[in-house]
Structure 1
Amino acid sequence: MTAPILYNYDLDENCYRVRLVASCLGVALTLHGIDMYPGREHLGAAMRALNPAGRLPVLQDGDLLLTQTEAILMHLAEAHAPTTPLLPQDAATRARMMDWLAFCARDLGVAAQARTCAMLDAPGDAQALRASARACLRLMEDHMVKQGIRGCGFFAGPAATLADLALFPAFALSRDFNVDHDEFPALRLWARRVRRLPGFITMPGIPDYH
């Protein structure tokens, strides 16, 4: 079977999400490097033919082309590792996982914007983006405090799911836009647990210790 092709930029947060999930699932990817910065290759005609929105990641798996991060993560699990514990079979746990995946897609994008604004001079109000990202992390922190009281170490329950891997980069990379991790002790503990998952890989910018 031919490995899925990931159109990838190593420093892109969403591309890292896909690489991380694939590694933890044991799914091999063929990486096709895209020069986002400074080359802006993701906005060129060839990439817009794959994703008219001009965004990464893009996954090509046979005849299937996917351009939304959370859809890519679900596809990799369901099509290539359907028995993985990262994809819970319990309906309630899966629903909680999907809820946090939706939070990642809808709300946590502001963290990636804050990071690219701070590091790569992307347009935006750096202070406002940082404040919005910190508010999202505070919601995550409060949830993990409650999870700790329930005896659960991960977002959807006692075991890691795809949601934990999807949420991890926003917190792990938040120091790039001057968010102090000491503000979020429950997330620091959770991040350590994520780092111990089989197949975990890192990326530039993620500190070795949380």
Structure 2
Amino acid sequence: MKLYYHPLSGHAHRARLFLSLLGIDVELIEVDLAARAHKAPDFLKLNPFGQVPVLDDDGTIIADSNAILVYLAKKTGATGWLPENPRGAASVQRWLSVAAGEIAYGPCAARLVTVFGAGFNADEVIARAHLILRHIEAELAGRQWIAVDQPTIADVALYSYIARAPEGNVDRAAYANINAWLKRMEALPGFVAFQKTAIGIQEAA
């Protein structure tokens, strides 16, 4: 397998993290976003939307981070990560939608401002980040994982941008349940960290 990625992309980190949690060997191919390699004709043949990550599984091309998570769970038969029962599957899908929606327009967008210079209104995206973090904090009250009673691809999809939310000046200090969940994620066998930057709120070691 090959994974086209960028080390500072949270979407790409989702895919890389899940591959590592599954113990799958993968060739990492870094896409130079600053040089706009993701908009080059060869890359657009892989993903016409010009975005990372893209997974190449011996010629089967899967674009979109959440689609890659689903593909890998199905391909490997990892039903613990993607439950087969209707309620569990629906719960996972709900949080995949949150990862593609509220997380993308909140913590992800706030980080895009500081790390990549995106032109969003910082106050607006930080406020949206706190809104979804408050929802997740409440959801994690009395439970260890977001969708069902074990880690799933929903947890993987949410992890990266929440973990690096402080880089977008989103203070996570008030979210005890989220911070405990992050530590549980980071303790999973095969966990691989999302590269840090020196931007934003610096957390205590």
Q: Same fold (TM over 0.5)?
A: yes
Distance 1:153 1:175 in 2: 22
Equivalence for 2:92: 97
Distance 1:101 1:83 in 2: 17
Question: Which runs of structure 2 are paired with 1:51-200 in the superposition (5 Å)?
Answer: 51-79=47-75, 81-83=76-78, 85-110=80-105, 111-145=107-141, 148=142, 152-200=143-191
Q: Is 1:12–2:14 an aligned residue pair? A: no
RMSD: 1.9
Equivalence for 2:29: 32
Helix, strand or coil at the partner of 1:108:
helix
CA contact (8 A) 2:110 2:169 kept: no
Distance 2:29 2:56 in 1: 10
CA contact (8 A) 1:156 1:163 kept: yes
Higher mean Cα deviation, 97-106 or 199-208?
199-208
AA aligned to 1:45 is P
Distance 1:142 1:43 in 2: 40
Between Structure 1 and Structure 2, how many residues are aligned? Answer: 200
**Could you list the per-position Cα deviations for residues 25-78 of structure 1 after superposition, in whole angstroms to 9, with x for gaps in the alignment?**
111211111111x22211222222221211111111123212111111111111
C-alpha displacement at 1:209, in angstroms?
Answer: 7.7
Q: After TM superposition, what 4+ stretches of structure 1 lie above 4 angstroms from structure 2?
A: 206-210
Q: Which runs of 5 or more residues in structure 2 are unaligned?
A: none
CA contact (8 A) 1:27 1:76 kept: no
Distance 2:102 2:171 in 1: 20
C-alpha displacement at 1:84, in angstroms?
Answer: 5.2
Sequence identity, in percent? Answer: 29
CA contact (8 A) 1:25 1:84 kept: no
**Could you list the per-position Cα deviations for residues 153-196 of structure 1 after superposition, in whole angstroms to 9, with x for gaps in the alignment?**
10112211111111111210001011111121110111111111
Distance 1:209 1:14 in 2: 25
Helix, strand or coil at the partner of 2:188:
coil
Distance 1:28 1:160 in 2: 21
C-alpha displacement at 1:127, in angstroms?
Answer: 1.8
Higher mean Cα deviation, 199-208 or 14-23?
199-208
CA contact (8 A) 2:10 2:194 kept: no
C-alpha displacement at 1:94, in angstroms?
Answer: 2.2
CA contact (8 A) 1:20 1:200 kept: yes
Helix, strand or coil at the partner of 1:31:
strand
